[in-house]
Amino acid sequence: MVQRMIWNQTAYFGPGAITVIPDELARRGFTKAFVVSDKVLVDSGVTGRVTSLLDGAGFPYEVYSDIVPNPPIENVQTGVRAFAESGADVLIGIGGGSPQDTCKAIGIITANPEFADVRSLEGVAATKNPSVPIVAVPTTAGTASETTINYVITDVAEKRKFVCVDPHDIPVLAVVDPEMMSSAPRSLKVATGLDALTHAIEGYTTAGAFELSDMFHLKAIQMIAKALPKAADGDPEAADEMAMAQYIAGMGYSNVGLGLVHGMAHPLGGFYSAPHGVANGILLAPVMAYNAAYTGEKLRDIAAAFGIAEAYTMSLDDARRAAVDAVAKLTRDLGNPTTLREVGATEEDIPALAAAALADVCTGGNPRTATLAEIEELYRSVF
C-alpha cells in the first residue's frame, strides 16, 4: 500500500526559538510580513514578542488581529482583502488554532482566488497552487495546526464548523517556542492539552494508521499523560514537553486522520462555540469505550503509555478498560467539563448534532463505523 507523509520544510523548537524568525525571513528572500493573530494576544503582548524582533531587524510587517475563536468565514474574507492591500509576501500566524487556521485560509485563497467563498474549501479541495508561504508560531500546546495540512473554519449562518484538508497549506516554517504559550490560563492549557491527547489517541487508532504514524502517536501519548497535569499547573519543564508532544502528535494525525471524537466535537463548536479542546475532553473516554472492540491491541499500548504496569499481562478486555479509565481519570483530575450541559447544549439539539457529526470529515477515520442512532446515543450518554 502506498503511504504519504507531509511535514514542514523547517521547524524550530525550544524556549527562545522565535529569535530565528528575522534571519529565516531574510534568508528566504521575503520583504514584508502580514501577521495574523488575535486581539487577546496583541493586547497581552504575546504577538509583540515576535513583532519586536521584526522591529529590531527592520523587517516591515502589518498586523491583522480581527480573529475570534472558532474563526468564522468573515474573518478569512476580511483577511484576504487586508493581505492584498498590504503588499506583503509572507504570512506569519501567531496564535492558537484559530489565528493559525485563518492564516492558512487567507494564504490558500490568495493563491487560489476561485475559492474566495471559503465554503468550497471544505474537505479535500482541488486547489492548484501552494499557499502564500506561512510561518506558524503556535501560542497554545494543542492543535499543532503549525504542522498539519488541515484548517477548520466556522459557517456561522449554518451553525457548523468545516474541516479543510489541503497539502498546499502546510507552513514552510514552524517555530514552536514554549515561552509563547506560557501566558495561557490554566483552563486553556487543560483544554488545548486534551485536544493534543485526542489527536494522539484518535491518530493512533484511526483507520489509516500505520507504523510511521504509530511511532509519533504513541510517543505523544506517553509525553502528554506525564506532562499535562504539571504543565497545567505552570511547571516550565512540563510545558516544554507539552509544546513538543502536541507537535509530534500533529506530525502523525495530519497524515492519517482522526475519528469520531473530532467528528462529534466540531458540531459543539458550531452550535455553542464550545472551546474545541473542552469538547474533545468530554467525548474522548466515552468514544474510546465505544471503539474499544475495534482497536486490536492498541488500547493496551495506550494503557502502557499511561504508566499502567500490568498493561501487557492483563486480559485484553481489562487493558482496554484500563486505558479508557486512565483517560477519564486524567480528564476529571484536570477539571475539564464532563457533560454537554456544561458547554450549553440542549437535549432537543442532539439529533441535529448527530447528523452534523455523521457528515464531518473526521468521522470517516473512526475505527468503528458509527450509525446516526449510535452517535445520538453517545451524545445522550454524556448529556
Ligand X SMILES: NC(=O)c1ccc[n+]([C@@H]2O[C@H](COP(=O)([O-])OP(=O)(O)OC[C@H]3O[C@@H](n4cnc5c(N)ncnc54)[C@H](O)[C@@H]3O)[C@@H](O)[C@H]2O)c1
Provide the binding-site residues for ligand X, judged by CB under 6 A: 38, 40-41, 44, 46, 69-70, 95-98, 101, 139-140, 142-143, 145, 148, 150-152, 181, 183-184, 188, 192, 195, 269, 276-277
Decide whether 50 or 264 has the Cβ nearer to Fe ion: 264
Q: Which residue is nearest to ligand X (CB)?
A: 97
Helix, strand, coil percentages (3-state) for the chain, rounded to 5, are 60, 10, 30
Placement of cell 486534551 in the chain: 194
246 binds, among Fe ion, ligand X, none (CB under 5 to 8 A by kind): none
Decide whether 37 or 254 has the Cβ nearer to Fe ion: 254
**At its nearest, how many Å lie between ligand X and the CB of residue 279?**
9
**At its nearest, how many Å lie between Fe ion and the CB of residue 199?**
6
98 binds, among ligand X, Fe ion, none (CB under 5 to 8 A by kind): ligand X
46 binds, among Fe ion, ligand X, none (CB under 5 to 8 A by kind): ligand X
DSSP state of 58: T
**At its nearest, how many Å lie between Fe ion and the CB of residue 61?**
29
Site string for Fe ion, 266-285 (x = CB under 5 A): --------------------
**At its nearest, how many Å lie between ligand X and the CB of residue 31?**
27
**At its nearest, how many Å lie between ligand X and the CB of residue 180?**
6
Q: Which residue is nearest to Fe ion (CB)?
A: 195
Handedness of CA 201, 216, 195, 132 (dihedral sign): negative
Is residue 195 close enough to count as binding Fe ion by CB under 5 A? yes
Give the CA distances from residue 209 to residues 129, 203, 254, in Å, rounded to whole numbers and listed in that order: 28, 7, 11
- 173-176 sheet: strands from edge to edge: 10-13, 173-176, 134-138, 90-95, 33-36, 61-64
Q: How deeply is 377 buried, as exposed, middle or buried, from its count of CB atoms within 10 A (0-12, 13-18, 19+)?
A: middle
Stretch that binds Fe ion, among 57-65, 87-95, 190-198, 318-326 (CB under 5 A): 190-198
Decide whether 88 or 284 has the Cβ nearer to Fe ion: 284
Is residue 169 close enough to count as binding Fe ion by CB under 5 A? no
337 binds, among ligand X, Fe ion, none (CB under 5 to 8 A by kind): none
Decide whether 110 or 246 has the Cβ nearer to Fe ion: 246
148 binds, among Fe ion, ligand X, none (CB under 5 to 8 A by kind): ligand X
CA-closest candidate to residue 233, choices 193, 264, 273: 193
**At its nearest, how many Å lie between ligand X and the CB of residue 49?**
10
Decide whether 133 or 275 has the Cβ nearer to ligand X: 275
**At its nearest, how many Å lie between Fe ion and the CB of residue 85?**
32
**At its nearest, how many Å lie between ligand X and the CB of residue 103?**
10
**Is 154 strand, coil or helix?**
strand
CA 297 from centroid of its chain's CA atoms: 26
Decide whether 242 or 303 has the Cβ nearer to ligand X: 242
- Ramachandran region, residue 87 (left: φ > 0; alpha: ψ -120 to 50; beta: rest): left
Decide whether 224 or 311 has the Cβ nearer to ligand X: 224
Give the CA distances from residue 381 to residues 262, 287, 290, 375, in Å, rounded to whole numbers and listed in that order: 17, 10, 11, 10
**At its nearest, how many Å lie between ligand X and the CB of residue 134?**
12
Q: Which residues contact 164 (CB under 8 A, 6 or more apart)?
A: 104, 105, 108, 121, 122, 123, 125, 150, 151, 152, 153
Spatial contact of 281 and 337, defined as CB atoms under 8 Å apart = yes
Q: How far apart are CA 298 and CA 334, in angstroms?
A: 24
**Is 95 strand, coil or helix?**
strand
184 binds, among Fe ion, ligand X, none (CB under 5 to 8 A by kind): ligand X
Spatial contact of 57 and 27, defined as CB atoms under 8 Å apart = no
Helices and strands in the chain, H and E counts: 14, 9
CA-closest candidate to residue 105, choices 81, 88, 141: 81
Decide whether 169 or 195 has the Cβ nearer to Fe ion: 195
Decide whether 204 or 300 has the Cβ nearer to ligand X: 204
Residues near Fe ion (CB under 5 A):
195
